[in-house]
A and B are shown apart, each in its own frame.
Chain A
């Protein structure tokens, strides 16, 4: 093969790669949705929380919308929001107060968390009305490969094969 032919082949390869990366479809992630009225939840709270959370790439803000509603027609809905992991940026530990009236029983929060690492992270939400048990929810925010931050604990097996999670005890020998 002549020298100029080699150059042409190399050029074509580079162009092909460039075109491939330019036309590659953008990753489409699902939008996570949840609704405490359809989840197993502790009793004692009239608050229902719904959310949608956009699965995003690294360093891309996720659009998280949280809706709070209550069958109560009076009182104050207090909402505490904070990231479960510090690695989740864009939201701070914050408390919101929403006065409830018979004509205003639904409230909305929009958040834009992001992360510089991949994984499944959570926004902790505690919504309470005085006299009721707080409604607690951890809203997932998925970034890139959401399985990246799973941590497995070391295990051993009992004789017949049952998995054991061994934890050190405080021990006194005498």
Chain B
């Protein structure tokens, strides 16, 4: 018997078997035709055949051996073929197997007048097509809703929601991955073609959404940044029928405290991210999201300290590639506060696809805030409701998560201090522009696509600081026929029509009122007045994010060159520390920074391209009402 390389084709045929549609694998060699170059007077030269798995009661495509010698005129086989299969004189096998049998080796012997040759084949007959046997199921997590009044979690009405878009894998006892798939939009998963699996396996669900366009994962910052995984038990996969394994992530709630593992938490967080992805893809289906890790832990608390110890301060986006989410029982947990998660994800979206000039810091709904902060936080709340298509935003806290706070972006009227400096006003305006529910003054229902287009276009590239002025001016430019309708929505928040990106006509509303933006150009001088409200209140508390704490300037640089910018006190009062930051274009990173130690003056010399810049000046350690001169000089 000679051994030559064999060329085997595998054919997959769909057949019917009982009530199930299954696949069968038949094997055939390319041809038994003798080559025209072969001598008709040579003996047969038959190649071994690869093993075949046949399905009982299913007619097979003839199995043919490759013969490189003379034509076969008669053929025999040892032992006898499985019942129902027959042998042709050319050694091909045909018929319909009628009895199952395990893998068995057969030897065929082909003869002609010049001689004979033998070859082997392994044949297995199975009762059903194993390629059609599935391991499937549905993945869910315990979702704990908020109480009807928006305050506190309602564990009594916990429901099971689908884990959507998550990675599911099957692993054997030693943790070796044998298959991987993704849950669908209903939480279902399915593994096909389990014929090679002989081990007991368990199903694992990774708290990870991953495709070629996104990579989001929920991990534990207090345990080596480990990826959360829920898993089922180690059990055999049936060789004869499909198996369903449904997995649910439990909340771990024991009635008055968490008594079990809080398996559901990472998947509750992941589901908000899934919704966020779908929302953005509704505006741009080909968008590619930069990777983001979301760190949640039951140890994550509102404390200052080491992040690896869970002392994260609060749920927040770090401005780059990480979200931190609170999980501290009896104080503040956020895994079921979907609005909080969507808000923080919104900051990631804004930073990665648009531009965020938000300076952060402590802020309240009724406060007069720096316009950059007011827009950033108002945007965060608005996109949170857009992602979830739910105007209610809640944040549970306290003992048993029974307390907390909520707001409704559709009904929160009569608030303190509405205006362009209020995050509450901004979130209401943005949500009214988005939503399909028309209420007082709101006749616009744009949905997400126009908002996304504006954010990644005009808003990202605006020469001014991002604020309600840049957003509304951009929106009006892109929807000129809706200018009146947009003005009406804005007017509901006591904001006069917005006509430019700098908020012309507005002042910082403080005791020493400056224009919202001063204009600075080469050779000119602008005088600003410090405004830390009464008795240095803001400075004492580090609250430089209040309206008027920073003075904003529009800076025109007429031609490329080296420039010196100087901020100098008019007088010599105290030990002040003037600092300033100069920005240009779509970046929120300054092109020039002056942060020298306290002095009456600070300056920076830098090379600038011609164009429009934006500048923010802040003076620390200085009482209200002190004047400073700002100069731009070309060297």
Interface residues of A (CB under 8 A from B): 34-46, 48, 69, 71, 80, 82, 84, 93, 120, 122, 124, 126, 128, 131-134, 136-140, 150, 152-153, 155-159, 162-174
Contacts and interface: CB of A to CB of B under 8 A. Distances in A.
A173 B243 contact: yes
5 contacts: A44-B363, A162-B227, A163-B225, A169-B250, A173-B235
A136 B245 CA distance: 41
Given A37-B541, A40-B312, A40-B314, 20 more contacts: A42-B314, A120-B309, A124-B330, A132-B405, A134-B403, A134-B405, A136-B314, A138-B302, A157-B175, A159-B176, A162-B226, A165-B220, A165-B226, A166-B230, A169-B247, A170-B250, A171-B247, A172-B245, A173-B244, A174-B243
B303 A138 contact: yes
Nearest to A42: B314
B180 to A, nearest CB: 11
A166 B229 CA distance: 5
A171 B227 contact: no
B363 A43 contact: yes
A128 B423 CA distance: 19
A43 B72 CA distance: 87
Interface in B198-235: 203-205, 219-220, 223-233, 235
Identify the interface centre among B360, B362, B363: most chain A CB within 10 Å of its CB: B362
A37 B305 CA distance: 15
Given A44-B365, A48-B362, A122-B301, A165 B223 contact: yes
Contacts of B313: 39-41
B542 A38 contact: yes
A41 to B, nearest CB: 5
Q: What is the size category of the interface that chain B forms with chain A?
A: 35 or more
A167 B231 contact: yes
A124 B330 CA distance: 9
B442 interface: no
B271 interface: no
Contacts of B395: 42, 133
B340 interface: yes
B421 to A, nearest CB: 14
A46 B244 contact: no
Contacts of A140: 303-305, 311
Contacts of A126: 331, 397-398, 403
B405 to A, nearest CB: 4
Nearest to A33: B304
B58 interface: no
Nearest first, the 3 closest Cβ-Cβ pairs linking A and B are A163-B226, A165-B226, A138-B303
Interface in B394-435: 395, 397-399, 403-405, 407, 423
A133 to B, nearest CB: 4
B541 A44 contact: no
B431 to A, nearest CB: 16
B531 interface: no
B122 interface: no
B314 A41 contact: yes
Nearest to A128: B405
B364 A132 contact: yes
Contacts of A163: 223-227
Contact of B397 (A134, A150, A169): A134
Given A45-B362, A140-B311, A133 B405 contact: yes
A46 B364 contact: yes
Identify the interface centre among A45, A122, A171: most chain B CB within 10 Å of its CB: A171
B331 A84 contact: yes
A2 to B, nearest CB: 59
B239 to A, nearest CB: 16
Contacts of A172: 244-246
Contacts of A93: 399
A171 B245 contact: yes
B330 A34 contact: no
B464 interface: no
Contacts of B397: 126, 134, 136
A36 to B, nearest CB: 6
Contacts of B537: 71
B361 interface: yes
Contact of A37 (B248, B340, B366, B542): B542
Nearest to A102: B534
A50 to B, nearest CB: 9
Contacts of B245: 171-173
A169 B232 contact: yes
A48 B545 CA distance: 13
Contact of B365 (A43, A84, A152, A168): A43
Contacts of B175: 156-159
B226 A164 contact: yes
B398 A169 contact: no
Contacts of B399: 82, 93
B543 interface: yes
Nearest to B265: A167
Identify the interface centre among A139, A164, A165, A168: most chain B CB within 10 Å of its CB: A165
B303 A150 contact: no
A132 B362 contact: no
A40 B360 contact: yes
Contacts of A128: 405
B330 A168 contact: no
A44 to B, nearest CB: 5
Interface in B260-299: 261, 263
Given A37-B361, A122-B301, A140-B305, A167 B228 contact: yes
Contacts of A132: 364-366, 405
A124 B233 contact: no
B133 to A, nearest CB: 14
Contacts of B403: 126, 134
Given A126-B403, A153-B223, A168 B261 contact: yes
B163 to A, nearest CB: 10
